[in-house]
Structure 1
């Protein structure tokens, strides 16, 4: 019985550490650049597209903001679909487990 209690304590400790790591990862922001600096994207640790800048030499100046918004919307749509598929795939694995309420797998 002592081993089970010890193991449950370690699981709780692991969950707390993973939650802290996930909180830290979300705060990470990085910028990617391509085309010799003509295109810049900014993502956070959840792969959310925070910003997009396209140089005006690549298309008409009045179309840039619309193009940037459309690309951001397409990225959000794809990300939402990926998250739904990930949830669907992991649900089959976790259905038989009696995980504590609120326990999240590190995905």
Structure 2
């Protein structure tokens, strides 16, 4: 899939977030943000989860009961920006768990600094 610059920026930022959560650039208007997020979710590059309490500010929409929803990068999203989600040791934990994403992001940051 060919990514737009905006999609690439959003996915790259999510890949660096400790929980893999996406954030739109501050200069991106809300309507454009919503369109980009919907597109990334539809193509399984992002997935929606209930916002963790400490990251409610990253919510991009609210569901019918007012719960903030955040978008989290998927393994397909990581691959789309050239990151192998399975790099390193074999995974015993759920690949999409917040802990697994945080660990992978920490490993990537450490490798980038080396």
- TM-score above 0.5, yes or no: no
TM-score (norm 2): 0.26
TM-score (norm 1): 0.27
Higher Rg = 1
Greater share of helix = 1
Greater share of strand = 1
Higher relative contact order, structure no. (Cα contacts within 8 Å, ≥ 6 residues apart): 2
